[in-house]
Amino acid sequence: MTTTPSKPIKPIKPNDAPAASAVKVDERKLQNHLFNEFLPLLRLSSPDYDQDELQLKMHRALKMFADIDPQDGCESMLARQMIGIHHAQHECLQKALLPNQHFEAKLMYLDQVVKLSNVYIKQMQALDKHRGHASQKVTVEHVTVESGGQAFVGNLGHKKKAS
């Protein structure tokens, strides 16, 4: 049995049309997929939650995602991780603050809160750096100003040209 070779699929190059437009996906299915990605991050399968509480938690997570306003795939992944870390931090804090919590368990949960807080701060810094908002610091230790030269001490900035 012989088959005729089909036309080869042209690979999508980074500078071609965005990959998302090359694959047609129903917007509702895409939103449902995003919704399902948040489910394990928020521990919404707990039997302690009623339906209204589940909806509120999911609504809040999706609002946080929209507020982070990811601009590309990297930011989208980072935003989901940040939301998961945020919820894990709050869960540990809630457990640490239970009235009858044992002292050792309270310390363990608070230690996790600190670690998760540090991860969240690093994620915020990574997002700022990716977006180009990270600040840079330059320290000059020795300056020599020759005769007729000028030195400036202070913050320098660039003004954008009006278009």
> What count of other Cβ atoms lies within 10 Å of the Cβ of residue 148?
5
> What is the pLDDT at residue 116?
96
Q: Please state the φ and ψ torsions of residue 9, each to the nearest 5 degrees.
A: -80, 125
Give the pLDDT confidence of 50-85 residue by residue, as tens digits: 778 778 888 888 899 889 999 888 998 999 999 999
> What is the pLDDT at residue 62?
86
Domain ranges for the chain: 27-131
> What count of other Cβ atoms lies within 10 Å of the Cβ of residue 108?
15
The helix/strand/coil state of 142 is coil
Q: How far is CA 77 from CA 35, 58, 73, 128, 149, in A?
A: 14, 17, 6, 14, 50
User: What pTM value is reported for the model?
Assistant: 0.64
Give the pLDDT confidence of 92-135 residue by residue, as tens digits: 999 999 999 999 999 999 999 999 999 999 999 999 999 888 77
